[in-house]
Amino acid sequence: MATVVNMPRLSDTMEEGVVAKWLKSVGDKIEEGDILAEIETDKATMEFESFHEGVLLHIGIQEGETSPVDKLLAIIGEEGEDISDLLKGDADKKEDDKSEESSDKKENSDDTSKDESKEDSSSEGVEIPKGVTVISMPRLSDTMTDGTVATWLKKVGDKVEEGDILAEIETDKATMEFECFYEGTILYIGVQEGETAPVDSLLTIIGPEGTNVDAIVKNGGATSSSSEAKDSSSDKKQEKKETKAEDKKESKEESTSSTANTTTNNSGGRIFASPLAKKIASDKGINLADVTGSGENGRIIKKDVENYTPSATVKVETPAPATSAATPTFSVSGEEKSEEVKNSQMRKAIAKSLGNSKFSAPDFSLNIEVDMDNAMASRATINAIPDTKVSFNDMVVKACAMALQKHPQVNTSWTDNNTIYHSHIHVGVAVAVDDGLLVPVVKHTNHLSLTQIGATVRDLAGKARHKKISPAEMQGSTFTVSNLGMFGIDNFTSIINQPNSAILSVGAIVQKPVVKNGQIVVGNTMNLTLTCDHRTVDGAVGAQFLQTLKTFIENPVTMIA
């Protein structure tokens, strides 16, 4: 069935877009993840990705043309499919829009004098003073419904320029830097550090220094479409708010100066630390200047603070005065202490996703041991080639992709009414990050070579650890690989990453005695565990998949042939 693709809203202030360039033509086959066009917004020219598969049947906006958001951009469907009804419906919609616009203009013209006398009583919104911009909580991932401000890098009264980082915002997937696209002074902050707010709620207001934005704040950030300034009589309220903000700021500065948690080192340089590391350090009274960071560029992360041991100090105790009677004394050798750390958006998302998977899918696990001697020899040969690097995990990912081709029942997703068989193979690779777990996706894995898979996994894993990965790079997996072998784990069982039907757990390569040709020799083995959703994958199917996977891994030349 044909799908209508509308002009997307690619920024929070975008009302219309210009198609700078079409990268596909009518009749071209489209796959999920293909770039359809380059669209110019009010902020930048951005690539627009397809989330559908099929044939491009119609282009509604030609190169260079401008169109409002949510208007017909293109239609994707099956080759030769009749889309006349969709085109007719779009034409009727345009006529309706024109008639409504004409009617609105007439009503606006008749009511102008009335509106001027009732400007302050508008309930739909207030007009934005000249040069002022209202910034809402952005939607930084496709599943994000609310966000938590981890850290504000700017405060009220600071001047900001385009490109400055305003804040670090926790989504359900990662903590991401939020960049400013405007110039001016921060007039108001609507969501404080540690607070959570829904998407599109008032985050901050930027404009000329001294501009009164009380009316906008009182209205929750809702504004009318006019950009003309309105005179306001709330100077006293603004003065009161500024006095309160100053008192709060002074109180915060006093608190900061009295605590051991600093943001500069002994030489006056800035200390780079994750928001969670800062919070833990503050709670424990640890001076961040004394902590050595193990993250990128010396950044202090959670484990650095948790593992920090302060240097021992010598205490000179004054002897207690002698008493007439000897009384026994007791000293407490330790103390009980607990602390509460607020759950991050990522941890909440992990809990929800894995909880739904574990309690909704009837799963079972299958184990198999793989001889890794040939794989180790093949890897050494491949890595001897200059500028080439392949890991054992890359070999496992490639073997999984090839085994999924032979066992399509495993490359499926369950719905209440249907089982979806995916013709494409997108393998997700679980990556541990500071605050949890992310699963970057290697698209069309079966069409990639070992070296291409290795380069892609390293690139995506690096982005994930440095919080630079985009939501599109974590979507669409049809199978998942989780590897804890590098931590010395021999065997473990993973929870299925739905909507996948299976996940493979990869253990460490272990050297041990094995029997070959009737002789006991030293061999290298690795344990694999396949966890399956019994609704789509039966035991025999899972066992056959593991047998095929074992053949590919034990004979790497078969993956290259």
Entry pTM? 0.49
Report pLDDT digits (tens) over 408-437: 999 999 998 899 999 999 999 999 888 788
Per-residue pLDDT for 87 more than 50? yes
Question: Is 352 a residue whose pLDDT tops 60?
Answer: yes
Quickly state the pLDDT bin for 139 (edges 50, 70, 90): confident
User: For the chain, first and last CA: distance in Å?
Assistant: 38
Task: Give me the half-sphere count of Cα atoms (radius 13 Å) on the Cβ side of residue 309.
Answer: 1
pLDDT at 311: 61
Lowest pLDDT segment from 140-149, 304-313, 534-543: 304-313
CB neighbours of 504 closer than 8 A, spacing ≥ 6?
A: 396, 400, 479, 480, 481, 482, 494, 528, 529, 530, 531, 549
Distance CA(363)–CA(530), nearest Å, equals 10
For the cut 50, the answer to whether the pLDDT of residue 27 exceeds it is yes
Q: What is the pLDDT of residue 555?
A: 93
Angle at 146 between CA 271 and CA 225, to 5 degrees: 105
Catalytic annotation present for 534: yes
pLDDT band at 439 (very low <50, low <70, confident <90, very high): very high
Q: Which of 34, 371, 424, 534 is catalytic?
A: 534
Confidence of residue 305 (pLDDT cuts 50, 70, 90): confident
DSSP assignment of 289-347? GGPPP-SGGG-B-HHHHHT--PPP----PPPPPP-SS----------------PPPHHH
pLDDT(323) > 80: no
Confidence of residue 100 (pLDDT cuts 50, 70, 90): low
Q: Is 538 a residue of the active site? A: yes
Q: Which residues pair with 522 in a beta bridge?
A: 513
Residues sharing a CB contact under 8 Å with residue 303, sequence separation 6 or more, in sequence order: 294
Cα–Cα distance between 244 and 237 in angstroms, integer?
Answer: 11
pLDDT average, residue stretch 89-97: 61
